[in-house]
Amino acid sequence: MGERLIKFTPIFRMGSMTFFDHIPLLPPDSIVGLQVAVKADKRPSKVNLSIGVYQTEALKTPLLDAVRHAESEMLAEGRNREYLPIDGDKSLIEELGKLVFGERHWKKSEGTIAGFQAVGGTGALRLSGEFLKAHISGEIHISDPTWANHRGVFIRCGLGLHNYPYYDFATHELNFDAMMEGFKKLPEKSVVLLHACCHNPTGKDPTPDQWRQIRDLFVGRKLIPFFDLAYQGFHRGLDEDAHAVRLFAEAGIEMLVVYSCAKNFSLYAERVGALFVCAQSETAARNISSQIKILIRTLYSNPPIHGAQIVARILKSPILSKEWEAELMQMRKRTNQMRKAFAEALSTKIPARDFDYITSGAGMFCYSGLSSDQVNRLIAEHALYLPQDGRLNLAGLTPNNLDFVTTAIASVS
């Protein structure tokens, strides 16, 4: 071993050419990179509202009791670590299928929905992008704005990106009419990414009636819906937050759904997610399955087991799922309470402005409307961390830091 090192080192020292020196440095991911700055900041008053992670009032990311109980049952059973099948843990797919589509529709569609365990929601997005590029379309339509990584993932898949109007930056509301006008101009078979609930980053979702109009337009214009469901249970409840997906699925529309268990099971690092492709026949679903399995096999062979079995065990057990639902309700309640309290505190401190748009938003995020200059001042002067687009994670607010945060925002507004 030592001999090899001695033998090769001089070549690198002497060489006029290197293999790697031409590689340029890329900037860090805007949100993940910010976490490094937060960690390095020594100011004790620092507040981090930049990353999309739920925190308790004690600013801890919780380990849910349902997860802990599932894990101790698993430990007692002493499971082996054989490879999972390429498409993952069958019971995870079965249980998530029921959770997403509703038990009745899932059973009714047996054989026509191809389901895959994925490495988090991001892994499911990547698989979808690769699948779409190879078989459906070289283009994808995403909301303006959207979660920053949507762009990154789809660009890496080689898809052409197009924005559709979504948010009115002046009123801070969903611009439904402009969005529908945008959809009407799309050619048939355009793939359109839709946030199923808790739109990231704006927190603005269509109403149930607007979803019905979107569905009808998609059917009429033959557009392909591609749902991203990463926050089920974080707005109104598990069934309510699956409303849009179920509305489309029950109409028999061919579509894709990607799912993340990171937030609602507080299992961020376990990377549990799924991809569902709803087809119109068992043959189509089988063919799709064969294609996506090849993608998985050549990317990472098969998915990891631990987190998947935690989620499957919770969902299969009436006791554990009841416990989980109660914990999810707590997370949802706290986030919604902080949303309301944040809007009220801002209204008191900046009386000239109306913050009802924050109160009426959904999920973990609100778009604060702060400019990147204001964000930079918040970071420099107050150690209050937000991403450059001013998106704010309400689940990082607590009754203890609310006054500090809203005073800081008022001081730069």
- What is the footprint of ligand PLP within residues 213-242 (CB under 6 A)? 228, 230
Q: Is 393 a residue that touches ligand PLP (CB under 6 A)?
A: no
- CA-CA distance, 158 to 169, in Å (whole number)? 29
The minimum distance between CB 219 and ligand PLP, in angstroms, equals: 24
Q: Which CB atom, from 262 or from 292, has the smaller least distance to ligand PLP?
A: 262
Among 115, 225, 233, 273, binds ligand PLP (CB under 6 A): 273
Interior angle at CA 236, CA 247 and CA 61, nearest 5: 120
Active site residues per annotation: 147, 228, 263
Sign of CA dihedral 69, 73, 75, 80: negative
Q: Which CB atom, from 196 or from 405, has the smaller least distance to ligand PLP?
A: 196
Sign of CA dihedral 345, 366, 356, 327: negative
Structure tokens at 282: 């068992």
* Rounded-to-10 torsion of CA 209, 280, 221, 361: 30
Question: Alpha helices, DSSP H only, in 143-261?
Answer: 148-156, 176-184, 208-221, 238-241, 243-250
- CA-CA distance, 242 to 227, in Å (whole number)? 10
Query: How big is the chain, counted in residues?
Result: 413
Q: Is 260 a residue that touches ligand PLP (CB under 6 A)?
A: yes
Q: Which CB atom, from 92 or from 346, has the smaller least distance to ligand PLP?
A: 92
Beta bridge partners of 118: 273
Q: Which CB atom, from 147 or from 357, has the smaller least distance to ligand PLP?
A: 147
- CA-CA distance, 249 to 232, in Å (whole number)? 16
- What is the footprint of ligand PLP within residues 103-142 (CB under 6 A)? 120-122
Residues 68-107 vs ligand PLP: string with x where CB under 6 A? ----------------------------------------
The minimum distance between CB 283 and ligand PLP, in angstroms, equals: 30
Beta bridge partners of 228: 195, 258
The minimum distance between CB 200 and ligand PLP, in angstroms, equals: 4
The minimum distance between CB 312 and ligand PLP, in angstroms, equals: 16
The amino acid that residue 125 corresponds to is: L
Q: Which CB atom, from 50 or from 112, has the smaller least distance to ligand PLP?
A: 50
Among 52, 88, 115, 303, binds ligand PLP (CB under 6 A): 52
Q: Is 147 a residue that touches ligand PLP (CB under 6 A)?
A: yes
- CA-CA distance, 223 to 187, in Å (whole number)? 8
Q: Which CB atom, from 292 or from 383, has the smaller least distance to ligand PLP?
A: 292
With left for phi above 0 and alpha for psi between -120 and 50, is residue 74 left, alpha or beta?
alpha
Beta bridge partners of 226: 193, 256
Show Cβ contacts of residue 231 under 8 Å, excluding neighbours closer than 6 positions: 197, 198, 200, 241, 263, 264, 363, 364
The minimum distance between CB 339 and ligand PLP, in angstroms, equals: 17
- What is the footprint of ligand PLP within residues 154-213 (CB under 6 A)? 195, 200
Q: Which CB atom, from 120 or from 361, has the smaller least distance to ligand PLP?
A: 120
The minimum distance between CB 270 and ligand PLP, in angstroms, equals: 9
Size of the site for ligand PLP (CB under 6 A): 12
The minimum distance between CB 334 and ligand PLP, in angstroms, equals: 18
CA-based nearest residue to 355, from 233, 221, 203: 203
- Tell me which residues touch ligand PLP (CB under 6 A): 52, 120-122, 147, 195, 200, 228, 230, 260, 262, 273
